[in-house]
Amino acid sequence: MGAPMRAAFIEKHGGPEVLGVRDIPDPHASVGQVRVKLKVSALNHLDLWIRQGLPSLKLSFPHIPGADGAGTIDEIGEGVSDWNVGDEVIVHPGLSCGTCGQCVSGIESLCRDYQILGENVWGTHAEYIVVPSQNIFEKPPSINWFEAAAIALVFTTAWEMLIKKAHVKEGDSVLIHGAGSGVTQAAIQIACLKGANVIATSSSHEKLKTALELGAKFIIHSREQDFYQEIKKISKSGVDIVIDHIGKAFWEKSIRSLKWGGQLITCGATSGFDAKIDLRHLFFRQLHLMGSTMGSKRDFPDILSHVEAGKLKSVIAKESFTLEQIQQAHRYLESGVQNGKVTVSIG
């Protein structure tokens, strides 16, 4: 450990008030690692859950949250030859052993040692972070630091759901819930990239407008309209794919919205996890229900190539925060008013 670095941290689980900012010793790169001087980090709903506490998560305090970030390499560990000090990079949050059967086959999130920055280990809400060299990727020069910091988690997650699991293709009808979230906005773009017809839901007119700008063909205001009834108007047979992170509130109607043989892929449960299902729908209609968590770093270069080509982009919320305003940033995300990714300026 060396000179102090500024970092946001939690000392215990609870509301935004448990977040603090202070100086702690900065880390140094070891064998196979690089240290990144972060310029911007980004928030995800994962950060809220970590702060509040999860039954299966046992943290050592103080804990630095944050999964996403971008900055410049300022220290290189022994054995790293493909990076240089000063390189502008994006930090990928998925950590795995790299040698087990799951990692070798590209299913890293099923690795027994799988971890996510800010969840299991110290994260990106700090001036510096040390990660394996495999977890950094060149920042496309065409995007700014805010956009770079907001890409990795949500686009990796959405890519895994749509490309790797659902195998979305041209002409598919895809219902995507919660049009203001980072994962949803990434999913809309990826589905449209493959020629699918996207139906987006949200309780915000502003977020639905953004969904149209990102390529959605149909929009449904989930407070003013019954999305299941609207789906029946759009397609009598239902949709091919549902992409969900809402959980309980939309679960039953999402299943009913599927075509026979349709697929529902879920990566979260922001409205509650104890959803119910009528099993008759599952077996009579031969539905496919899948869970999904993050994805593979192997796919990230493909994602970045589409970003560089201008076909995929980060949507950044209007309100941005500094590291010292981390409590306000959490309250803003928790309120649900944001349209796009909430970012935190660091250096």
Q: What is the CATH number of the domain that holds 22?
A: 3.90.180.10
Domain at 248, CATH number: 3.40.50.720
Of the candidates 83, 82, 109, 105, the one whose C-alpha atom is nearest the C-alpha of residue 95 is 109
More confident of the two residues 215 and 276: 215
Of the candidates 245, 281, 239, 238, the one whose C-alpha atom is nearest the C-alpha of residue 265 is 245
Do 9 and 144 sit in the same domain of this protein?
A: yes
Locate 230 and state its tokens. Answer: 């609207």
Do 225 and 339 sit in the same domain of this protein?
A: no
Q: Name the one residue in this structure whose structure tokens are 């609870």.
A: 14
Give the per-residue pLDDT at 2: 58
Give the per-residue pLDDT at 70: 98
Give the per-residue pLDDT at 270: 79
Locate 66 and state its tokens. Answer: 């944050």
Name the residue range of residue 250's domain: 155-291
Do 11 and 139 sit in the same domain of this protein?
A: yes
Locate 334 and state its tokens. Answer: 């928790």
Do 274 and 323 sit in the same domain of this protein?
A: no
Q: pLDDT-based confidence at 247, cuts 50/70/90?
A: confident
Q: What is the mean pLDDT of residues 125-146?
A: 97
Locate 76 and state its tokens. Answer: 């290189």
Q: What is the mean pLDDT of residues 264-285?
A: 89
Locate 234 and state its tokens. Answer: 């759009």
Locate 115 and state its tokens. Answer: 């971890």
Residue at 67 is within a domain: yes
Residues 6+ apart with CB under 8 A from 46: 67, 116, 118, 119, 153
Q: What is the pLDDT of the chain when averaged over all its residues?
A: 95
pLDDT > 70? residue 26 = yes
- Exposed/middle/buried for 288, CB within 10 Å: 0-12, 13-18, 19+? middle
Residues 6+ apart with CB under 8 A from 102: 96, 108, 110, 111, 112
**What is the domain count for the chain?**
2
Do 35 and 99 sit in the same domain of this protein?
A: yes
Do 146 and 183 sit in the same domain of this protein?
A: no
SS3 195: coil
Give the per-residue pLDDT at 214: 97
Residue at 304 is within a domain: no
Q: What is the mean pLDDT of residues 323-337?
A: 96
Give the per-residue pLDDT at 3: 73
Do 167 and 206 sit in the same domain of this protein?
A: yes
Do 147 and 159 sit in the same domain of this protein?
A: no
Locate 49 and state its tokens. Answer: 């859950």
Do 52 and 147 sit in the same domain of this protein?
A: yes
Residue at 69 is within a domain: yes
Residue at 302 is within a domain: no
Residue at 135 is within a domain: yes
Do 138 and 249 sit in the same domain of this protein?
A: no
Q: What is the mean pLDDT of residues 240-261?
A: 93
For the segment 50-108, what is each residue's pLDDT rounded down to a tens digit?
999 988 888 989 999 999 999 999 999 999 999 999 999 999 999 999 899 999 998 99
Q: For residues 178 and 79, what is the distance between their CA atoms, to the nearest angstrom?
A: 44
Q: What is the mean pLDDT of residues 157-176?
A: 97
Residue at 257 is within a domain: yes
Which range, of 12-26, 203-217, 266-280, averages the lowest pLDDT? 266-280
Within 10 angstroms of residue 112's Cβ, the number of other Cβ atoms is 9
Instruction: Return the beta strands (E) in the chain as ranges.
Output: 4-10, 19-25, 33-42, 68-76, 88-91, 94-95, 115-116, 128-132, 136-138, 173-176, 197-202, 218-221, 239-244, 258-266, 288-291, 321-322, 343-345
Q: For residues 226 and 223, what is the distance between their CA atoms, to the nearest angstrom?
A: 7
Which pTM does this prediction carry? Answer: 0.95
SS3 265: strand
Locate 127 and state its tokens. Answer: 């001036």
Q: What is the mean pLDDT of residues 166-174?
A: 98
Do 94 and 41 sit in the same domain of this protein?
A: yes
Apex 111 CA angle, 72 and 36, nearest 5: 10
What Rg do the C-alpha atoms of the chain give, in angstroms? Answer: 20
Sign for the pseudo-dihedral over CA of 177, 296, 67, 14: positive
pLDDT > 80? residue 347 = no
Do 102 and 52 sit in the same domain of this protein?
A: yes
Residue at 24 is within a domain: yes
Q: What is the mean pLDDT of residues 148-156?
A: 97
Residue at 47 is within a domain: yes
